[in-house]
Chains A and B, each alone.
Chain A
Amino acid sequence: MTGTWGLRPPAFRRVRVSEVSRAFGRSHALFRVSTELHAGTVTAIVGPNGAGKTTLLNLLATLDRPSEGNVTFGEGAGSVTHRAAIRPHIGLVAHDTMLYPELTGRENLRFTADVCGVDPAAVSTWLARVGLEAAADSPAATYSRGMRQRLAIARALLTEPTLVLLDEPLTGLDASGRAFLSETLRELRAADRIVVMVTHHLDWGSSELDRAIVVARGRIRFDGAPPETLADLYAREVA
């Protein structure tokens, strides 16, 4: 990935999750979870299936509401909880690609640019960054899973969001895709973005991450600097 990043300054520098619970019926996906996320950091959230990782990500994305507690964006008097004010500053790569398979890669990014008020010139820049220039005018339905994932990442970052939320971003990516993602994370950190990544890939480590959060049964088991690899942490806290 080459080129400039951070033309838009970050809209806020902290996200605070305070005593957040999320219940579905009688069961709690999250129970009284608290943490803080800061600008210029990359945080990994790990945990077993059903631990509440994606629920936490959806709450951070403002696509879900806590049953109790709150998520606050920004600091002090400038903090905001109103979802409409926060959403344009969030970039999300979810389980689903959030793409339209009938549209080409270029049309998908152009559509995002138009609805988000981004300069259309950024579309070609991002297609080049994610290595999809050659396939830009083919329908996304013809892309491999890895190509769709690259396009999904480009779609999420096109708006230069302050809070970048990645749910299993390595899905379908090959070795070069992994290298591209690592480079992207470094650029996002340097541009003072807040990056949160849910992952089952435990080979990420302290060289790429600033922080790790282990979630199990809806509670945070660990929240701090990651060890050499997430696998060590996972084995200690979950297995």
Chain B
Amino acid sequence: MSFGRQLAAIAGKDLRIELRAREILYTATLFSVVVIVVFLFSGFGDSGETRRAAPGVLWVTIAFVGTLVFGRTFQREREQNAIAGLLLAPSIVGPLFAAKLLVNLALLGAIELIVVPVVTVTFGVPLAAVGGAVALVVALGTLGFAALGTVLAASLSTLRLREVLLPIVLYPLCLPLLLACVKATQLLVAGDGLGAARGWLSIVVAFDVLYLALSRWLFGQALEGSA
């Protein structure tokens, strides 16, 4: 059985469903814009203060939107108990984890393509000067965050209070990663460059590796509990 064929089938199916339903992209994008607007009107003083708030606003928005995306992508497998059919496929755990992670990254990435420019522009961050470096931090941070979100969404998918439990479990576990992302983004927004942010970026990469390994290891057990 081909890993690639299974991965492509699951990821393709999820993206096709999302392109038809558009429920994750529309709701999550609208939600993220509302969060940004609320922060924007919360009474920051001068432009420097507003700019210093941008990294926190960006990562809070990504964290909020992430739970919407992760929960929904796995919930689709539960609605008609399609997960039971998937579990009967040969050697499915690896391809299923990879596919769900890729879909979560793709959907969160699509929303970030809107969120990052909106935050940088509205909070007075010079996008042209720091946009590339910020995009790198966002990409690296999103990878570890999505890995942890993927396995937690799978393991909580059978529970009645899954929508409440996912952020309660996910946020404390990925807090070190999010804090490192905020600090790295803060240095970049302040104009200190990638060199100054290297230490925080190393921490982000380390958490990516840890969360990816842990999530892949736990995903099989999470699936068995969701059948």
Binding site for B on A (CB under 8 A): 61, 63-64, 84, 87-88, 90-92, 94-103, 107, 111-112, 114-117, 155-156
Taking each of B5, B13, B88, which has the highest tally of chain A beta carbons within 10 Å of its own beta carbon? B88
Q: How far is the CA of A97 from the CA of B1 in the complex (A)?
A: 25
Say whether, besides A114-B9, A115-B10, A98 and B81 are in contact (CB < 8 Å): yes
Instruction: Report whether A115 and B86 are in contact in the complex, using a CB–CB cutoff of 8 Å.
Output: yes
Q: How far is the CA of A155 from the CA of B13 in the complex (A)?
A: 16
Say whether, besides A87-B87, A103-B16, A114 and B82 are in contact (CB < 8 Å): no
Chain B residue with Cβ nearest A96: B81
What 0/1 pattern do residues 102 to 137 of B give for CB contact below 8 A with A? Answer: 000000000000000000000000000000000000
Q: Distance (Å) between the CB of A168 and the closest chain B CB?
A: 14
Q: How far is the CA of A137 from the CA of B82 in the complex (A)?
A: 20
Interface pairs (13), CB distance under 8 Å = A63-B227, A92-B88, A98-B80, A98-B84, A102-B20, A102-B21, A103-B13, A103-B17, A114-B9, A115-B89, A116-B89, A117-B2, A117-B5
Instruction: Report whether A94 and B81 are in contact in the complex, using a CB–CB cutoff of 8 Å.
Output: yes
What 0/1 pattern do residues 1 to 36 of B give for CB contact below 8 A with A? Answer: 110011011100100110011000000000000000
Instruction: Report whether B85 and A92 are in contact in the complex, using a CB–CB cutoff of 8 Å.
Output: yes
Q: Distance (Å) between the CB of B144 and the closest chain A CB?
A: 27
Taking each of B6, B79, B87, which has the highest tally of chain A beta carbons within 10 Å of its own beta carbon? B87
Q: Which residues of A contact B227 (CB under 8 A)?
A: 63-64
Please tell me if B76 contacts chain A, counting CB pairs below 8 Å: yes
Chain B residue with Cβ nearest A85: B90
Say whether, besides A102-B21, A103-B16, A88 and B88 are in contact (CB < 8 Å): yes
Q: Among B13, B80, B87, B88, point to the contact of A111 (Cβ < 8 A).
A: B13
Q: Which residues of B contact A156 (CB under 8 A)?
A: 85
Instruction: Report whether A97 and B80 are in contact in the complex, using a CB–CB cutoff of 8 Å.
Output: yes
Q: How far is the CA of A103 from the CA of B86 in the complex (A)?
A: 15
Q: Which residues of A contact B8 (CB under 8 A)?
A: 114
Q: How far is the CA of A90 from the CA of B11 in the complex (A)?
A: 24
A-B contact count (CB 8 A): 76
CB-based closest 4 A-B pairs:
A114-B9, A96-B81, A88-B90, A98-B85
Q: Which residues of A contact B1 (CB under 8 A)?
A: 116-117
SS class, residues of chain B in contact with chain A: helix
Q: Among A84, A96, A107, A114, point to the contact of B91 (Cβ < 8 A).
A: A84
Q: Which residues of A contact B9 (CB under 8 A)?
A: 111, 114-115
Please tell me if B174 contacts chain A, counting CB pairs below 8 Å: no
Q: How far is the CA of A63 from the CA of B21 in the complex (A)?
A: 30
Q: How far is the CA of A98 from the CA of B80 in the complex (A)?
A: 5
Taking each of B5, B13, B79, B227, which has the highest tally of chain A beta carbons within 10 Å of its own beta carbon? B13
Instruction: Report whether B80 and A100 are in contact in the complex, using a CB–CB cutoff of 8 Å.
Output: yes
Please tell me if B92 contacts chain A, counting CB pairs below 8 Å: yes
Taking each of A90, A99, A102, which has the highest tally of chain B beta carbons within 10 Å of its own beta carbon? A102
Q: Among B5, B80, B85, B87, point to the contact of A114 (Cβ < 8 A).
A: B5
Q: How far is the CA of A138 from the CA of B178 in the complex (A)?
A: 43
Chain B residue with Cβ nearest A114: B9
Apart from A88-B88, A100-B80: 8 A-B pairs, beta carbons within 8 A? A63-B227, A95-B81, A98-B80, A100-B17, A115-B5, A115-B89, A117-B90, A155-B85
Q: Which residues of B contact A64 (CB under 8 A)?
A: 227
Instruction: Report whether A100 and B82 are in contact in the complex, using a CB–CB cutoff of 8 Å.
Output: yes
Instruction: Report whether B87 and A63 are in contact in the complex, using a CB–CB cutoff of 8 Å.
Output: yes
Instruction: Report whether A92 and B76 are in contact in the complex, using a CB–CB cutoff of 8 Å.
Output: no
Q: How far is the CA of A98 from the CA of B16 in the complex (A)?
A: 17
Instruction: Report whether B88 and A90 are in contact in the complex, using a CB–CB cutoff of 8 Å.
Output: yes
Q: Among B5, B10, B80, point to the contact of A96 (Cβ < 8 A).
A: B80
Q: Which residues of B contact A91 (CB under 8 A)?
A: 88
Interface residues of B in 46-97 (CB under 8 A from A): 76, 79-82, 84-92, 95
Q: How far is the CA of A114 from the CA of B84 in the complex (A)?
A: 16
